[in-house]
Each structure stands twice: as C-alpha cells, then as structure tokens.
Amino acid sequence: MGCSSSSDEGRPDDYSPPNSNVPPPSDNANSVRLVNTNSFGSVLTDANGRSLYFFSLDSKENSNCNGGCLNVWPVFNQTDLTLDSGLDIDDFDQITREDGSMQTTYKGWPLYYYAGDGEQGDVNGDGIDNLWYVAKPDYTVMKVRAQLVGRDANGNETHLTSDYEMGEEQTFYMTDAYGRTLYMFSEDENGVNNYTEDDFSNNAIWPIFETTLMEVPSTFTSGDFGLIDVFGRQQLTYKGWPLYYFGQDENRGDNYGVGFPSPGIWPIVNSDIGTSPQPQSDTIIYSVTNQGATAYVFNGDGLSDAVNPNLTLKRGNTYQFDINAPGHPFWIKTVQSIGTGDTYDEGVIYNGESSGTVSFTVPETAPNTLYYACEFHDSMTGTLTIID
C-alpha cells in the first residue's frame, strides 16, 4: 500500500510478517547482503535473502508507512550491521519511528520488506502503486512524492502544486541517490546548459549534477539520460534537460528551488516532462519572393507569406535570405532608398542578389537599425532591428 493507514487492504492471503516469522540467519551470513536477481541485478536483502525496499513518500528520512501499511510493508531493522562487499557502512543509519521503534536506513531511505515476497530473489514489490522500489546500491537517481515548498528571491516560502500554483498537492519528482532534489532550467535547450558561466562563478547557486549514470528505478528509462560537457565537466541530462541542484536546499527533502526566483523558472524533474527543445539553428533561413513590384514576401522562422515584414536580428547570428525575385535585387542598407548606394556590407555576402542567396552574419558593431530594400521599387522595403 502507498499510504499510512490502519487498513489491511493489499495484504496477501498467505501473509506472514518477514521480520517475525523468518528462519534465523544462516551461519556467517551478513545482516545486509547483496543478492543477484534475474530482473533487477544486485539488490539489498536481509541475511536470509529477503529483498528490501524504498518508499517514495519517505523524502525526509522519516517513515511515512504506518498503521495498516506495515501489514504489507514491514520494517527492516538490524543493529550491529555486517555488510557484504560493495556496501559502505557510512551509508547506513537508524531512525526512530513515530511509535518509538527503530528502523534501518540506507542513503537516508528507510528500509522495508514486502509481505508478498516468499523466497530469496523475489522482488514482487517493485513498482507497486508507483511508490515502492527495490533497494539497490547503485541507483543514480530516485523518485519521491512530496509537497513542493518553493522559496522566492526574498526567502518567502509558498506551498505549490505541480503546475507551480499556490496550493497543496503531493508531486512526484526526481532526486539524486541520497534524496537531494534535482531541477531543470526552463531556458536550457536539448543538451545545452544555458545557465552555467564558463568559470563556474554561479555554480554555487545552481550546481550542475555531476555523475555517471548507473542504475535507475524501474519508473525511469535509462535511455532518457545522457551526459554533456560543460566547460570540461560532465553534467547528467534527462530527456535532454541538463540537471541541477539548488544551493539553498540544505537538507534532504528540501525543494525550495521551485520558487526561486519565482515559480516555473526552475521546475522539478519527473517522467511526465517533455523532451527539451532543440537548440535554435545558428543560421536562420528565410525564403524571399516578390509580389509584383509592390512588396517582398517572406517565409520561414515563423513567417508565412509575410508582406514586407519588419525583422529583428541578433548580433552574432547568421541570417540566410534565399531570394527568388527576378528583377528586384535585394539589398541590405543603412537607409531606406532605391539604387545601389547606402549599402551595409559588413558581414554580408552577395548583397544585391535577385535570384540567389544573401547571407548576413550580424557583427557586434552593427547599428541598431538597418533596412532591406529593392534596388528599383521604393515600396519593397522593411526595417531590420538589431539587438544583442
């Protein structure tokens, strides 16, 4: 079951609490073992090989499985731990549950059994209610469900829904293996980090998630993850979105970044997000024809049969004008005029074409306003606004 309740719903008919009616450990078996399974590879088990599990609601290193939930998901607790090779004692701890009993944790996640597992190697509890996942030592990311509590640029905290509106809602999102919240930047593009400075001077605010992908919970698909190079360092991506921490998330379970500097700029990450947008081409292409001797007609980059449109060009970008307007040479100029004077030629290739390509790489020194104009007809013209 995926909630704290006193109901026995979901209890198998042959239920037997594994922490009370299992045989004693075999001689020399460690209290936490790594057992290889057919479907999940190496998983954490108790001394008898019974699989252990994580609960997505346990985002803050306390147990949210109580009452009847424990009939299906009994607590694992073991003092004086001995561990199989490959496990680190520093990753284990104990918490005090709300009833005063103790529970063993791994990387901050309280550990449970599943009552439906009968034998060594059983992993029948993974994925139940989209909340329970078999405990593995090599997850790169994890999935939690918790209330989003955003913190704005002034430090004010607000409860937010998954749509980043004020309200109460339990939202699924991704964390690292230790439960620290991961974010994406709304201005990033597919495989492109548009936030981090080349000297990492702003990395303390939104640190990049630097890791190598190993295993992921069954709710995620490994193929959705990737790595990009960020000024010589490796950042993990999900569906093309570069992943970050938030520097003000000091404790496990904090997700303050969803509100900073305002909601929606740094969203949480979950399997419902779409693939990040592809980077804008370095070259913006327009096809240009003529409407008699009265106008140029533009198509491309959001324009459809636009008549003498005014365009905004960005310094550093390249713009390709594919001209098919015989008898109407296309000039880039400093003033709106006919003839071949007043041309602007810096960064321009084949200025004045009527059946060919005019290419314009906008230099940093370009003036704020330029024009395109027909050599012969003063009605065929438009403004080029130049921005940084």
Taking only the tens place, the pLDDT of each residue in 227-286 is 999 999 999 999 999 999 999 999 999 999 999 999 999 999 999 999 999 876 678 999
Same domain for 233 and 303, yes or no, is no
The confidence score (pLDDT) of residue 118 equals 87
300 part of a folded domain? yes
Domain span at residue 229 reads 143-259
27 pLDDT band, cuts 50/70/90, is low
Same domain for 248 and 289, yes or no, is no
Same domain for 103 and 173, yes or no, is no
Same domain for 76 and 178, yes or no, is no
Q: Indicate the DSSP class of residue 334.
A: S
130 part of a folded domain? yes
- Domains contained in the chain, number: 3
Mean pLDDT confidence for 94-111:
97
d(CA 332, CA 326): 17
For residue 13, pLDDT beyond 60: no
d(CA 161, CA 146): 10
For residue 17, pLDDT beyond 60: no
Same domain for 133 and 148, yes or no, is no
Mean pLDDT confidence for 364-387:
97
Exposure on the CB side of residue 274, measured as CA atoms within 13 A = 5
Among residues 137, 167, 182, the one where a domain terminates is 137
12 part of a folded domain? no
Same domain for 289 and 228, yes or no, is no
Among residues 243, 259, 275, the one where a domain terminates is 259
User: Using one digit for the tens of pLDDT, what is the confidence trace for 314-368?
Assistant: 988 899 999 999 999 999 999 999 999 999 999 999 999 999 999 999 999 999 9
Query: Which distant-in-sequence residues (6+ apart) come within 8 Å of 324 by Cβ?
Result: 287, 288, 289, 355
> Are 145 and 207 spatial neighbours (Cβ–Cβ below 8 Å)?
no
Same domain for 151 and 133, yes or no, is no
Residue 56 vs residues 32, 287, 328: alpha-carbon distances, Å: 21, 53, 66
Among residues 227, 259, 291, the one where a domain terminates is 259
Same domain for 380 and 350, yes or no, is yes
